[in-house]
Amino acid sequence: MLHPKIQQLLVEQEYYLTRPNRPTSFYNGIYTRWSHPVLTRRHAPLIWKYDFDMAANPNAQERLGINAVFNSGALYKDGHYYLVARVESNDRKSFFAVAESASPVQGFRFWNYPVALPDVNTDADTVCCPETNVYDMRLTAHEDGWIYGIFCSESKACSPGVSLSDACAAAGIVRTKDLRIWERLPNLKTVSPQQRNVVLHPEFVDGEYAFFTRPQNGFIDAGGLCYGSCADITKPEITEEKLVSPRCYHTITESKNGAGAVPIKTDRGWIHIAHGVRNTAAGLRYVLYAFATDLREPWRVIAKPGGFFLAPYGRERVGDVSNVAFCNGAAVNERGEVAIYYASADTRLHVATTTLDLLVDYVFNTPPDALRSTDCVKQRNEMIAENLTILSRENAAQ
């Protein structure tokens, strides 16, 4: 017999999970925003949080709480959408869990068990302690037949003289065929001492596994979005990193930037959805931006619209880490429909829907950042003048 409060919570959660999602009135012609997040802490199954044994838990108290559900890798497969979300518990540790739905915008339910991620072997001479936390998995359905998950493997720094809060970031690698059984591979090795926000390209490039990396000298300081490759994914080591998308003064990438979703293939090029960070009086502001790279040379940028692609909007601005939009997953179905999963304020997960055609239009036809206020005004005035001419002709014809 279940505690009456548990029974009530199960009914309430079912109502929450089955409520319909509707488009908002927001419009920019590029994507559609939706009224409700697709994953929140309220989506976490009650069996994850409460001990249902009335003898052990007579007051139906929450034993293992969930604080947030956010940054998620995404995959479309066999008519279903799969999200491997970052679930943060009340104790601050994150873990991965798979949520599934036949719809890209609603109806996601977590599988019964979180991902049982295999532990990683650490080298004896490492400057980092054993892995403490894992988060922000990117899912790549690779042409070699495996589904890879690349995520941040965080450890406490163990070098002499470090503070309690000093940490090390590495790119962890797992692979699977079914999202249930995961094989752990060695962490990615690069020339730079630390890595976060690493994405595995979905196709071989010159016979090698290609990665988009974010070199870091420390846990926070980052040096731009880069590209590198290795011959053997089971011995992943990159010896050279090419700069693809640099940081730039007084832009949305001034403080740092990094890869987001796995690159999306179109007939014009690979479309990347990345994140850019700038500092403000209220702290760091995270937004998404987009650019395209060459189909054969995916490190070579061929189009880059100015400004942000998506930024925190309305209630999305508020949460555990306010003013943050972050994406590490997008899914494309056989009709060319694209679901972009983005988190807000490190608290919840949303979706923006678009199409391949709309993304191509945006990336290749939106003007680049003019970089200076004077030139930005010239750029805008040119469009205004053209629009006034069109309006004048339209009025004359009436």
Query: Given this model, what pLDDT does residue 117 score?
Result: 95
Does residue 18 carry a pLDDT above 50? yes
In sign, the C-alpha dihedral spanning 44, 45, 48, 54 is: positive
Does residue 17 carry a pLDDT above 90? yes
Cβ atoms of 40 and 66 within 8 Å: the answer is: no
Query: Given this model, what pLDDT does residue 123 score?
Result: 54
DSSP category for residue 48:
G
pLDDT in tens, 91-117: 999 999 999 999 999 999 999 999 999
Phi-psi region of 283 (alpha: psi -120 to 50; beta: other; left: phi over 0): left
Query: At 169, is the secondary structure helix, strand, or coil?
Result: strand
| Least trusted range by pLDDT, from 17-21, 193-197, 387-391 | 193-197
pTM, full prediction: 0.96
What does DSSP say about strands 209-213 and 337-344: parallel, antiparallel, or unpaired? unpaired
Q: What is the mean pLDDT of residues 120-144?
A: 82
Q: How confident is the model at residue 124 (pLDDT cuts 50, 70, 90)?
A: very low
Q: What is the mean pLDDT of residues 26-52?
A: 98
Joined tokens for residue 269: 């090029």
* Mean pLDDT value across the chain: 95
Query: Given this model, what pLDDT does residue 221 score?
Result: 65
Does residue 125 carry a pLDDT above 50? no
- What is the distance between the terminal CA atoms of the chain, rounded to a whole angstrom? 74
Q: What is the mean pLDDT of residues 296-317?
A: 98
pLDDT in tens, 364-398: 999 999 999 999 999 999 999 999 999 999 999 98
